[in-house]
C-alpha cells in the first residue's frame, strides 16, 4: 500500500514539477484538470508510465525517480502527442516510445548539464522530443488517417481578452488551452505559492504588452497561446532559480523582454516545418540567463531550490546571515584577546596577490606596547605563543632570522621566521614573523590545530611584533594568496561561528569543551521524548528520533517533520526544517546554534528562518512581504549563558512588538532537557 | 629683598666613609623617597580623615595588576581562571574587586568559605583547599558544588562519609599533590607526593571508593619563588600525571590548578638586588608555566588552568601610613624612631625590607636608624637599620608594599587595629574597614555576674 502510494506520489510530482512545485497534492489536482480533455490526459499518463516503467526496467533507484524530476518531460511529450492524435493502438505506441526517448534524453542531458554547465535541463528534452515527434509524424500517414484528434468545443466564458489570454496560455502549459483549465491552474499556483502566482501574472502581462506594442495589435498579442513562455520565464528566473527579490524580478523582466524577440523569431522559423514553438524560448532564455548569472557569481542565485520560492527565500535570508565566512576555515592562531591590525586588502602590505592575509597584535587602550615601546619586550605580543590555525604537515620552517628592533624592517627576508603548513585540503597556510629560534616544529612533522608552533616575534618585514597568517594556493614562499575565514571565536564576548573580523576588532579563539562535545554527540536511532506544553497545559508528547538522510545528513524525526542538524569544531547547529511540525520549529527557534563552550558573559546571535516562529496565514504574509524587501520581519535571536547548562535569550522579529523570551536547558549527559519559547515549551521525559 | 633664612637642621651623627662607594648604594643624601599622596589623595588629608596608622589600598593598582596577570596567562593559554587567594587579604571590598575582575574564590578554611558564600560567590566558584576541613564544612561544600581539593587520605574517608550521607556518588574532587620542582624548600607536607607513588595511590583509592569523581589536580610548589623554571617543571609533571591517570583508569582530568607562589616586588631581607632587578616579571612565570603545558599537553587539549595567585596581585596596592611618635638615641649611637604601627600590623616585616617614604621633604643627611613599633616587646622592629634624615615628631612614614597577608595576619594585641581605606578609581577615599574600638574587643567577652566589680 505504502509502495503504491509512493508510486502515485512520484506520478503526481511529474505534474507539479512543470510549475516548479514539489507537491503531490498540487500535482494530483493538475492531473485531474488535464483529464478534462481525456485524450490529452490519458496520453500524458501513458507517457509517464512508459518512462517510469522503463526506468525501473533499467534499474534506476526509487530515490532518483520519486521526485518526478526525470518524468515531467515525458509527461509533457505525452500531452503534446495526445493533443495532436486521438488515442489508438498506433498513437499509444508512438506515445510510449516518445515517452521513453524523453526519459533517456532527460537523464543524459541532466548528467551533461549538471556536470559541465551546472544548469537544470528545464523542459529541453520535451522541446526536442516533441519537435522530433511532430516532424516524424509528417510521414506517419497511417497515424493521421486514423487518429488526428478533433478538439471539441470547450467552455468559453465571456472574459475580456487580457484575462482570457492569461488563463488560456496558463492552461496551454499542460496542453489544456482553455479558460477553465487556466483558471484552475491559477488557483493551484496561488494556493501553493503567492510569489509564483504574482510572477506568472507579471511575466504574462509584460511579455504580451511588449509583443502587442511591437506588433501593433494588442488583442492578438494577448491571445497568443505561446505567451506561456513568458509565464514560465518569470517564474523560473524570478522565483525559482533566483531568490525572490526586486532585483531578481528585474532580471526576470529583462529575460521576458528578450524572450518576446526570440518567440517571434522561432515562430516564423519553426512554422515552416509546422512545429509549434513549445517551450523553446523559455528554455533558451532561462538557460542562457542562468548560465551567465552563475558564471559571474550573481549573489541571488539560489544555492538550494526548496519546495516553494517562499521556502527558498526564507532559507536564503536566514543562511546568508547564519553561514558566513568561507570553507577555508582557520582557527585564530593565538590565545586570549588579540586585535586585528590589518585584514584582507589592508592599507599597508596586504595588497594585490597577497591581499588575503591577516595581521594580529595585542592592543591595550590603543597601544600595542607598554612604556615607550622602544624595546621589543615592551610589546605585548612579543614572545606570546603562536598556535597552529589548522592541522596539516609542516613543509617549511625558517627560524634563524633575528628580531628587528621596533620600527625597523628586514626588507630582504620579507616573511621572516615562518612556518608553512600543507593542510592537505588543497591550500597552504603560512604564518610569519616568529621570534628567533623559537619555532618548536620541524619540517615533515604533522601538527594538529592549536599545537604550539613557536613564539611571536619581529623578524622579516615587521615593524612591531605581530602574527601574520595567510592562505596560499601553492607551497612556494610568496605564492598567490586565497580568501579564507576564521571560525569559532569571540568578538566582544559574542560568539562568531565563521566570519572575517574587521580591522581593529578584538578577537579571541575559543575551544570546545569535551563535556559539551559529548552532550551533543547524537547517535542514530536514539530517541528522546518530550512533553509539549502550551502554558502549563499538556498538548501532546513529541518523540524525536535521530535519523540519517541519504546524503549523510542527520536529523531529528518527529514523524511530522525533520529538523536537520550538524556540528562543526565549535558548535552544534540546526540548519533546515522540513515538514510542518510546530514543535520542531520551537526547537529550531530556541536554539539555532549552540556554541560548545561555556563562558560566563558569552553571548551569541543568530537569524533563524521566519517560519520557526510564525505559522499559518501570518507566515505566508511574512513570506510575501519579504519577497519584496528581505529585511522585513527578520528574526533576531540573541542568547547568553545564564549559568552552566542554562541558556536564556530573546527572539525579536520586525513584525512583533514584544520580544519572545526563550530558555534552553541542556541535559547533563546528552541532549536537551527543556526548550521554551514564550508560552510554548518542550520538557524532556526521563526514561525510567 | 631679604635673603631666605636657612632652615634649622637637627644635628646627625654618621660614620665617615672614604674610598670605594658603599655596596648598598644608599648614600646619605640620595636614596631618599618622598610620597605626598596615594593616587592623588594627600597623605595629610587621609590621616586627617581616617587617623593614623592607616592602611590604604589603591583600587587602580589592584585592577591593573590582576588584568596584567590575567593577560600574561590568557594570551599564552586559552583556558585560564584566576582564583583569588582569600588568605592573602580577605576584606570584603578587596575580594569584591577581584571577583568583579572575573576571579573565583580560593579558600583554605571554613571561615573563608563562609565569607565567600556570604559575598554571593556560588559554591561552584569556590576552590576549597587546606589541610583542615571539618566534616560539616565538607558536607556544605559538597552540597554547594564547591571544588574540593583533598589534602590527605583521611579526607577521602571523610568525603566518602559525606557522599553516603547525601546519597550521592558524584561529588567532584581534586587532589593536592606535592612534587619536586627543583627548588628548595620542598613543600612536602601538603597533599600527596607524586614521585613516591603516593599520589597515584590516592587516585586509585578514590577510584575504588566509587563515591567521588576526580576531575582536577592541584599543586602549590611554594611561596615567593624566584625561579620561574620551577613552574615549567610543575606543569610538565602535572600534565604527565593527568595523562597517566587517564591511561590507567580512564579518568579525564578536567582542570589543573598550579597554585600560586609568584613573588611580589618586595625586597626580601638579605637580598642584594632591588626587586625590580632581582624579581623576574610575571610574564616570565607565565611563559615558563605555559611552556611546560605545551611541552606535555596533546595538541588541542586545553584543560582548564587555575591559578591561586595572591601575593603578586595585591602586595603593591597596599600602603601603611604611620606616624613618628618619638625619637631616641640608642647607646650604640643609632637613632631609633617609635612609630604608631609595628609588627602587630606588619606581620610580613619578618621577611621584608619595606620601602620607606616620608610625606614631606626632610632636610639633613641620612643617618642609620631603627624603626620600632608601639608594642612593649623587644621584637617590635619594623626596620633594623635604614638611613633616614632626622625626623621630627609627627612626620608620617609611608611603608610599602604591604598589601599581602598583613590585614589578615595582623593582631589586636594591646592596640586597636586601624582603619583600612580604599582609594577608588574615581579618586575618592572609601572606608572599607573601620578603626576598632573597645566594643569590638568586648563584644565576645562575657563577665560572670559574680566577678562584676561594684
* B300 with A337: Cβ contact below 8 A: no
Q: What residues does CATH 2.40.37.10 cover in chain B?
A: 37-56+316-437
What pLDDT, on a 0 to 100 scale, did the predictor assign at position B63? Answer: 97
Q: How far is A633 from chain B (nearest CA, A)?
A: 38
Interface check B252 vs A, CB under 8 A: yes
pLDDT of residue B203: 97
What's the pLDDT at B393?
Answer: 93
The CB-based long-range contact list for A105-113 (8 Å cut-off, 24+ gap) reads A105/A73, A105/A129, A106/A70, A106/A71, A106/A73, A106/A74, A107/A60, A107/A70, A110/A69, A110/A70
Distance from CA of A479 to the nearest CA of B (A): 28
d(CA A384, CA A433): 12
Residue of B nearest to A489 (CA): B78
Q: Say if residue A141 is preceded by a cis peptide, omega within 30 of 0.
A: no
Maximal CA-CA distance, chain A:
103
B252 closest CB neighbour out of A380, A449, A514: A514
Q: What span, in angstroms and rounded, lies between the C-alpha atoms of B275 and B35?
A: 19
pLDDT in tens, B153-179: 999 999 999 999 999 999 999 999 999
Residue A656 confidence (pLDDT): 66
Q: Residue B158: which H helix or E strand, with range?
A: helix B153-166
Query: What SS3 state is found at A664?
Result: strand
Q: What is the ipTM of this complex?
A: 0.82
Cα separation of A650 and A638, whole Å? 5
Q: Is B124 on the interface with A (CB under 8 A)?
A: yes
Can you tell me the distance from the alpha carbon of A373 to that of A367, in angstroms, rounded to the nearest whole number? 9
Inter-chain contact B78–A451, Cβ cutoff 8 Å? no
Interchain CB contact of B246 with A (< 8 Å): no
User: Which helix H or strand E contains A127, and what residues bound it?
Assistant: helix A124-137
Q: Which residue of B has its CA nearest to A361?
A: B75
What chain A residue is nearest to B254 in terms of C-alpha separation? A514
| pLDDT, tens digit (0-9, with 9 covering 90-100), for A402-458 | 999 998 888 889 899 999 999 999 999 999 999 999 999 999 999 999 899 999 999
Instruction: Decide if B147 contacts B124 (C-beta within 8 A).
Output: yes
Give the residue from chain A lying closest to B104, CA to CA.
Answer: A600
- Closest residue, chain B, to A449 (C-alpha): B300
**Shortest Cα–Cα distance, B71 to chain A (Å):** 7
Which has the closest alpha carbon to B82: B69, B64, B96, B65? B69
> What CATH number was assigned to the domain covering residues B37-56+316-437?
2.40.37.10
Segments of B31-181 assigned E as strands: 37-38, 41-42, 54-58, 80-85, 104-107, 126-128, 147-150, 171-178
Residue B432: pLDDT above 90?
yes
pLDDT classification of B362: cutoffs 50, 70, 90: confident
- Residue A115 gets which letter from DSSP? I
State the first-to-last Cα distance of chain B, in angstroms, to the nearest integer. Answer: 71
Nearest to B55 by CA among B322, B249, B309, B233: B322
Distance from CA of B99 to the nearest CA of A (A): 13
Strands A385-387 and A452-455: antiparallel
CB A434 within 8 A of CB A459: yes
The contacts of residue A346 (CB under 8 Å, 6+ apart) are A355, A357, A359, A503
* 3-class DSSP assignment, residue B50: helix
* Nearest CA-CA distance, residue B234 and chain A, Å: 19
Residue B449 clears pLDDT 80, i.e. is over it:
yes
On the CB side of A40, CA atoms within 13 Å amount to 24
Contact A510 B78 (CB under 8 A): yes
Q: In degrees, to the nearest 5, what angle opens at C-alpha A88 toward C-alphas A85 and A89?
A: 125
Distance between CA atoms of A592 and A572, rounded to whole angstroms?
9
Strand bridging mode B54-58 / B419-423? parallel
pLDDT band per the 50, 70, 90 thresholds, residue B14: low
**Which chain B residue has the Cα nearest residue A455?**
B76
CA distance B299 to chain A (A): 5
CB A486 within 8 A of CB A507: yes
Q: Roughly what angle, to the nearest 10 degrees, separates helices A89-112 and A72-84?
A: 150
HEC-encoded secondary structure of A75-86: HHHHHHHHHHEC
Cβ-Cβ contacts under 8 Å, B290 against chain A: 385
Q: What pLDDT was estimated at residue B275?
A: 86
Instruction: With CB atoms and an 8 Å threshold, state whether B124 touches A644.
Output: yes
Q: Following DSSP, what letter does each residue of B80-91 receive, concatenated?
A: EEEEEEGGG---
User: Which CATH topology does B90-309 take?
Assistant: TIM Barrel (3.20.20)
Nearest to A385 among B79, B290, B298 (CB): B290
Please judge whether B71 and A336 are an interchain contact, meaning their C-beta atoms are less than 8 angstroms apart: yes
| B75 near A CB under 8 A | yes
- B254 near A CB under 8 A: yes
CA distance A451 to chain B (A): 5
- Looking at the DSSP assignment, which residues form a beta bridge with residue A318? none
Q: Is A199 exposed, middle or buried (0-12, 13-18, 19+ CB in 10 A)?
A: buried
Across B64-84, average pLDDT? 94
Quick check: helix, strand or coil at residue A119? Answer: coil
Of B251-255, B260-264, B362-366, B434-438, give the lowest mean pLDDT range: B362-366
Q: Residue A385: its chain B contacts at CB < 8 A?
A: 76-77, 290, 294
Nearest CA in chain A to B302: A511
Question: What is the predicted pLDDT for the residue at A37?
Answer: 85
pLDDT of residue A180: 87
Residue ranges and CATH numbers for the domains of chain A are 1-152 (1.10.3430.10), 329-483 (2.70.70.10), 515-684 (no CATH)
> What is the band of B232 on the pLDDT scale with cuts at 50, 70, 90?
very high
Please provide the average confidence, as pLDDT, over all residues in chain B: 92
Question: Per the CB < 8 Å rule, is A448 touching B299?
Answer: yes
Interface contact flag, B299 A600, Cβ < 8 Å: no
Antiparallel, parallel or unpaired: β B255-257 and B304-307: parallel
Query: Could you tell me where in chain B the CATH 3.20.20.10 domains are found?
Result: 90-309
Pairing of strands A527-534, A680-684: antiparallel
Mark the ranges of chain A whose per-residue pLDDT is less than 50. Answer: none
Helix (H, G, I), strand (E, B) or coil at B115: helix
Residue-level pLDDT at A306: 85
pLDDT of residue A64: 64
Interface of A with B (CB under 8 A): 334-338, 362, 364, 380, 383-385, 388, 440, 447-452, 509-511, 514-515, 600, 644
> Are B75 and A383 an interchain contact pair (Cβ–Cβ within 8 Å)?
no
Torsions phi, psi of A529, nearest 5?
-110, 130
- Determine which of A313-322, B91-100, B333-342 has the lowest per-residue pLDDT on average: A313-322
Percent of chain B past pLDDT 70, that is, above it, reads 95
- Whether B85 and chain A come into contact, CB under 8 Å, resolves to no
Whether B31 has a pLDDT exceeding 70, the answer reads no
Whole-angstrom distance between the N-terminal and C-terminal Cα of chain A? Answer: 36
Q: Mind listing the pLDDT tens digit for each residue in B190-203?
A: 999 999 999 999 99
Q: With pLDDT > 70 as the criterion, what percentage of chain A qualifies?
A: 96
Hey, are the CB atoms on B75 and A514 less than 8 Å from each other? no
Kind of pairing between the strands at B367-372 and B335-339: parallel
CA distance B322 to chain A (A): 32
Contact (CB<8Å) B76/A385 = yes
Q: CA-CA distance, A482 to A423, in Å (whole number)?
A: 13
Q: Indicate the Cα dihedral angle A495, A498, A502, A505, nearest 10°.
A: 30
Residue B287 contacts A, CB cutoff 8 Å = yes
Whether omega before A22 lies within 30 degrees of 0, making that bond cis, reads no
Buried/exposed B337-360: b ≥16 CB within 10 Å, e otherwise: bbbbbbbbbbbbbeebbbbbbbbe
Partner-chain residue, chosen from A364, A380, A448, that has the shortest CB–CB distance to B300: A448
CA distances from A401 to A221, A255, A373 (A): 78, 61, 21
Q: Which residues of A touch B71 (CB under 8 A)?
A: 336, 362, 364, 380
Amino acid at each position: 500500500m505504502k509502495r503504491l502510494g509512493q508510486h502515485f506520489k512520484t506520478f503526481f510530482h511529474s505534474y507539479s514539477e512543470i510549475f516548479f512545485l514539489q507537491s503531490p497534492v498540487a500535482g494530483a489536482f493538475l492531473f485531474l484538470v488535464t483529464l478534462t480533455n481525456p485524450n490529452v490526459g490519458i496520453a500524458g499518463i501513458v507517457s509517464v508510465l512508459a518512462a517510469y516503467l522503463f526506468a525501473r526496467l533499467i534499474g534506476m533507484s526509487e530515490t532518483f525517480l520519486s521526485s518526478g524530476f526525470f518524468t515531467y518531460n515525458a509527461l509533457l511529450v505525452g500531452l503534446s502527442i495526445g493533443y495532436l492524435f486521438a488515442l489508438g493502438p498506433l498513437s499509444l505506441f508512438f506515445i510510449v516510445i516518445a515517452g521513453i526517448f524523453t526519459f533517456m534524453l532527460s537523464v543524459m542531458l541532466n548528467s551533461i548539464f549538471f556536470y559541465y554547465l551546472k544548469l537544470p535541463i528545464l523542459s529541453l528534452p520535451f522541446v526536442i522530443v516533441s519537435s522530433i515527434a511532430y516532424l516524424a509524424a509528417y510521414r506517419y500517414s497511417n497515424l493521421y488517417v486514423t487518429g488526428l484528434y478533433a478538439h471539441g468545443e470547450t467552455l468559453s466564458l465571456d472574459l475580456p481578452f487580457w484575462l482570457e489570454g492569461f488563463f488560456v496560455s496558463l492552461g496551454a502549459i499542460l496542453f489544456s488551452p482553455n479558460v477553465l483549465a487556466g483558471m484552475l491552474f491559477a488557483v493551484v499556483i496561488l494556493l501553493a505559492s503567492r510569489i509564483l502566482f504574482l510572477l506568472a501574472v507579471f511575466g504574462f502581462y509584460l511579455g504580451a504588452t511588449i509583443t502587442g506594442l511591437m506588433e501593433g495589435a494588442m488583442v492578438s498579442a494577448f491571445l497568443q497561446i505561446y505567451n506561456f513562455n513568458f509565464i514560465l520565464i518569470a517564474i523560473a528566473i524570478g522565483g525559482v532559480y533566483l531568490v525572490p527579490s526586486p532585483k531578481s524580478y528585474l532580471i526576470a523582466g529583462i529575460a521576458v523582454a528578450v524572450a518576446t524577440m526570440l518567440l517571434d523569431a522561432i515562430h516564423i522559423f519553426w512554422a515552416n516545418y509546422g512545429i509549434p514553438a513549445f517551450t523553446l524560448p523559455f528554455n533558451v532564455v532561462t538557460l542562457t540567463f542562468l548560465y551567465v548569472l552563475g558564471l559571474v557569481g550573481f549573489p541571488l542565485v539560489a544555492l538550494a531550490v526548496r519546495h516553494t520560492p517562499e521556502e527558498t527565500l526564507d532559507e536564503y535570508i536566514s543562511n546568508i546571515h547564519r553561514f558566513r565566512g568561507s570553507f577555508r576555515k582557520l582557527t585564530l592562531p593565538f590565545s586570549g584577546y588579540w586585535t586585528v591590525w590589518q585584514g584582507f586588502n589592508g592599507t599597508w602590505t596586504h595588497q594585490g596577490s597577497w591581499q588575503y592575509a591577516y595581521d594580529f597584535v595585542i592592543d591595550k587602550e590603543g597601544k600595542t606596547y607598554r612604556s615607550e615601546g622602544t624595546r621589543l619586550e615592551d610589546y605585548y605580543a612579543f614572545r606570546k605563543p603562536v598556535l597552529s590555525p589548522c592541522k596539516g604537515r609542516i613543509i617549511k620552517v625558517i627560524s634563524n632570522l633575528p628580531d628587528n628592533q621596533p620600527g625597523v624592517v628586514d626588507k630582504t627576508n620579507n616573511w621572516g621566521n615562518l612556518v608553512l603548513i600543507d593542510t592537505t585540503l588543497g591550500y597552504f597556510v603560512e604564518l610569519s614573523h616568529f621570534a628567533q629560534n623559537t619555532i618548536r616544529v620541524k619540517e615533515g612533522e604533522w601538527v594538529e590545530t592549536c599545537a604550539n608552533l613557536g613564539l611571536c616575534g619581529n623578524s622579516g618585514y615587521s615593524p612591531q611584533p605581530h602574527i601574520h597568517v595567510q592562505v596560499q594556493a601553492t607551497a612556494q614562499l610568496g605564492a598567490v594568496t586565497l580568501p579564507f575565514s576564521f571560525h569559532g571565536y569571540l568578538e566582544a564576548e559574542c560568539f562568531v561561528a565563521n566570519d572575517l573580523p574587521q580591522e581593529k576588532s578584538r578577537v579571541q579563539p575559543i575551544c570546545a569543551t569535551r563535556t559539551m562535545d559529548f552532550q551533543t554527540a547524537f547517535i542514530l536511532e536514539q530517541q528522546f521524548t518530550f512533553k509539549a506544553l502550551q502554558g502549563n497545559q499538556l498538548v501532546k508528547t513529541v518523540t524525536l528520533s535521530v535519523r540519517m538522510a541519504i546524503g549523510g545528513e542527520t536529523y531529528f524525526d518527529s514523524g511530522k517533520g525533520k529538523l536537520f542538524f550538524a556540528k562543526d569544531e565549535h558548535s552544534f547547529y540546526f540548519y533546515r526544517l522540513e515538514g510542518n511540525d510546530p514543535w520542531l520549529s520551537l526547537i529550531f527557534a530556541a536554539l539555532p546554534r549552540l556554541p560548545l563552550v561555556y563562558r560566563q558573559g558569552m553571548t551569541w546571535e543568530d537569524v533563524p528562518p521566519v517560519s520557526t516562529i510564525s505559522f499559518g496565514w501570518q507566515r505566508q504574509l511574512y513570506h510575501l512581504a519579504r519577497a519584496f524587501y528581505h529585511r522585513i520581519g527578520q528574526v533576531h535571536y540573541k542568547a547568553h549563558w545564564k549559568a552552566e547548562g542554562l541558556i536564556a535569550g530573546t527572539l525579536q522579529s520586525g513584525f512583533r512588538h514584544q520580544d519572545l523570551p526563550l530558555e534552553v536547558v541542556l541535559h547533563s549527559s546528552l541532549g536537551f532537557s527543556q526548550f521554551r519559547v514564550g508560552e510554548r515549551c518542550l520538557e524532556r521525559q526521563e526514561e525510567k | 629683598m631679604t635673603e631666605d633664612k636657612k632652615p634649622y637642621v637637627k644635628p646627625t651623627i654618621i660614620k665617615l666613609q672614604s674610598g670605594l662607594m658603599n655596596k648598598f648604594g644608599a648614600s646619605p643624601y640620595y636614596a631618599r623617597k618622598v610620597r605626598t599622596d596615594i593616587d592623588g589623595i594627600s597623605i595629610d588629608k587621609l590621616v586627617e580623615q581616617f587617623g593614623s596608622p592607616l592602611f590604604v589600598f589603591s583600587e587602580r593598582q589592584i585592577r591593573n595588576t590582576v588584568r596584567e596577570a590575567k593577560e600574561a596567562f590568557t594570551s599564552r593559554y586559552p583556558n585560564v581562571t584566576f582564583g583569588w587567594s582569600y588568605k592573602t587579604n580577605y576584606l570584603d571590598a578587596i575580594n569584591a574587586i577581584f571577583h568583579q575582575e572575573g576571579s573565583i574564590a580560593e579558600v583554605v578554611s571554613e571561615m573563608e568559605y563562609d565569607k565567600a558564600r556570604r559575598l554571593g560567590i556560588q559554591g561552584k566558584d569556590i576552590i576549597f583547599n587546606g589541610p583542615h576541613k571539618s566534616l560539616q564544612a565538607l558536607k556544605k561544600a559538597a552540597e554547594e558544588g564547591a571544588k574540593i581539593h583533598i589534602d590527605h587520605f583521611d579526607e577521602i574517608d571523610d568525603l566518602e562519609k559525606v557522599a553516603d550521607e547525601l546519597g550521592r556518588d558524584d561529588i567532584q574532587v581534586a587532589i593536592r599533590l606535592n612534587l619536586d620542582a627543583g627548588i628548595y624548600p620542598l613543600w612536602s607536607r601538603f597533599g600527596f607526593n607524586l614521585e613516591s607513588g603516593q599520589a597515584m595511590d590516592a587516585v586509585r583509592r578514590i577510584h575504588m571508593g566509587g563515591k567521588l569523581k576526580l576531575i582536577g589536580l592541584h599543586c602549590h610548589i611554594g611561596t615567593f619563588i624566584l625561579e620561574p623554571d620551577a613552574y615549567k617543571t610543575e606543569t610538565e609533571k602535572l600534565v604527565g600525571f593527568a595523562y597517566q591517570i587517564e591511561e590507567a583508569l580512564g579518568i579525564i582530568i578536567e582542570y589543573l590548578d598550579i597554585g600560586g607562589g609568584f613573588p611580589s616586588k618586595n625586597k626580601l631581607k638579605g637580598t642584594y638586588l632591588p626587586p625590580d632587578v632581582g624579581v623576574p616579571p610575571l610574564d616570565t612565570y607565565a611563559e615558563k608555566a605555559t611552556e611546560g603545558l605545551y611541552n606535555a599537553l596533546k595538541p588541542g587539549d586545553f584543560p582548564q588552568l587555575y591559578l591561586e595567585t595572591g601575593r603578586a596581585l595585591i602586595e603593591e596596592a597596599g600602603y601603611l601610613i604611620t606616624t613618628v611618635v618619638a625619637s631616641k638615641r640608642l647607646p650604640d649611637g643609632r637613632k631609633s624612631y617609635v612609630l604608631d604601627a609595628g609588627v602587630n600590623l606588619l606581620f610580613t616585616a619578618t621577611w621584608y625590607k619595606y620601602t620607606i617614604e616620608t610625606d614631606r621633604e626632610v632636610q639633613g643627611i641620612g643617618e642609620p636608624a631603627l624603626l620600632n613599633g608601639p608594642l612593649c616587646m623587644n621584637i617590635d622592629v619594623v626596620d633594623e637599620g635604614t638611613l633616614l634624615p632626622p625626623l621630627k615628631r609627627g612626620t608620617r612614614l609611608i611603608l610599602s608594599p604591604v598589601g599581602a597577608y598583613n590585614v589578615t595576619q595582623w593582631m589586636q594585641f594591646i592596640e586597636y587595629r586601624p582603619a583600612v581605606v580604599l582609594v577608588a578609581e574615581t579618586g575618592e577615599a572609601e572606608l572599607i574597614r573601620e578603626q576598632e574600638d573597645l566594643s569590638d574587643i568586648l563584644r565576645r567577652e562575657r563577665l560572670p555576674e559574680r566577678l562584676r566589680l561594684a
